[in-house]
């Protein structure tokens, strides 16, 4: 029983990272209707920025907010320069633009920092809490705590601030929000900036667990897509729940299904995506699309 509980803890830690990335995907989708295939690369670029700051002597817990601020500004700039010109274009055009952004950011990171593997310092202390035969590493607990703080801050933003209210109005109905005097263009840029910052948290927290290199977030993005699909692409809370579920499912499948093991765990999110799309396309917490004749 303790072994099962141990796997749950490991799964929740991984799921928190997937939840952060899935939330970034959902934020952009809610505001613009775009599925951002470059979200993982933006998070990777942010991780490199944090690494560069740490290498220059900046303490990690100071480098993190600086990285988030730069990521936020970068997300807004991308919306203005890359996304705004194709606003209202066919969906295929938007997909191609985000895929192009994926390759551009990946190549830029490789050009600036090279494709050599780099180690990222773990910001959390060594050691673990032990109770009832279950060990919870400080790293795992730290990841859960940081992601929980981010989620709480987002809740406060959307629930109790005028900016958050404006963002919710634009996400619900951009035309009505514009008629009410809300600057829809500014809100869309804020949405991209916010998503970039949230994704950066996932990237920076993933870096100590992976070797830092331009392709490091490819697998995480697949899990994040599974989390967003499972929770619902129009539900931020669903993205968080989906990330935790996917993390636990992946960990348990790798531990208890011999046919999967550690080599085929990447197949778990693909199975989840396929199953959800076949059974409940809107996800567990999403709103089904309604077409009126």
- Give the pLDDT mean for 48-73: 94
Average pLDDT, the chain: 88
User: What's the CA gap between 169 and 248, in Å, rounded?
Assistant: 34
pLDDT of the residue at 40: 93
pLDDT of the residue at 289: 61
Q: What pTM was estimated for this model as a whole?
A: 0.91
pLDDT digits (tens, 9 = 90+) for 224-234: 999 999 998 88
Tokens of 228: 């967003």
User: What's the CA gap between 215 and 78, in Å, rounded?
Assistant: 20
Contacts for 277 with CB less than 8 Å, ≥ 6 apart: 229
pLDDT of the residue at 63: 94
pLDDT digits (tens, 9 = 90+) for 165-216: 888 888 778 888 888 888 888 888 999 999 999 999 999 999 988 889 999 9
Contact 262, 268 (CB under 8 A): no
* Helix axes 162-172 and 138-160, enclosed angle (nearest 10): 80
pLDDT digits (tens, 9 = 90+) for 98-146: 999 999 999 999 999 999 999 898 888 888 888 777 788 888 889 899 9
pLDDT digits (tens, 9 = 90+) for 255-282: 887 777 666 777 888 889 999 989 998 8
pLDDT at 293 over 50: no
pLDDT of the residue at 261: 64
pLDDT at 1 over 60: no
Contact 39, 192 (CB under 8 A): no
Contact 11, 223 (CB under 8 A): no
pLDDT of the residue at 291: 53
Residue 42 is inside which H or E element, if any? helix 39-55
Q: Is 160 exposed, middle or buried (0-12, 13-18, 19+ CB in 10 A)?
A: exposed
Residue with tokens 């959800």: 276
């Amino acid at each position: 029983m303790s072994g099962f509980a141990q796997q749950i803890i490991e799964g929740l830690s991984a799921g928190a990272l997937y939840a952060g990335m899935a939330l970034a995907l959902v934020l952009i989708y809610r505001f613009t209707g775009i599925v951002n295939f470059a979200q993982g690369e933006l998070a990777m670029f942010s991780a490199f920025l944090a690494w560069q700051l740490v290498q220059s002597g900046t303490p990690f817990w100071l480098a993190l907010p600086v990285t988030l601020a730069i990521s936020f500004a970068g997300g807004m700039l991308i919306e203005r320069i890359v996304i705004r010109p194709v606003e209202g274009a066919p969906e295929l055009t938007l997909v191609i633009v985000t895929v192009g952004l994926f390759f551009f950011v990946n190549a830029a990171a490789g050009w600036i920092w090279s494709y050599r593997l780099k180690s990222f310092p773990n910001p959390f202390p060594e050691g673990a809490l032990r109770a009832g035969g279950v060990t919870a590493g400080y790293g795992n607990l730290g990841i859960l705590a940081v992601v929980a703080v981010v989620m709480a801050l987002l809740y406060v933003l959307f629930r109790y601030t005028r900016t958050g209210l404006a963002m919710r109005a634009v996400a619900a109905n951009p035309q009505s929000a514009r008629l009410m005097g809300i600057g829809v263009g500014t809100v869309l840029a804020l949405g991209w900036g916010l998503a970039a910052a949230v994704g950066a948290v996932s990237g920076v927290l993933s870096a100590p667990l992976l070797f830092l290199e331009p392709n490091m977030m490819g697998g995480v993005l697949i899990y994040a897509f599974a989390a967003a699909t499972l929770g619902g692409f129009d539900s931020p809370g669903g993205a968080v729940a989906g990330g935790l579920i996917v993390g636990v499912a992946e960990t348990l499948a790798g531990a208890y299904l011999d046919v999967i093991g550690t080599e085929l765990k990447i197949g778990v999110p693909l199975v989840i995506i396929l199953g959800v799309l076949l059974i409940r396309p809107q996800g567990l917490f999403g709103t089904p699309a309604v077409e009126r004749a």
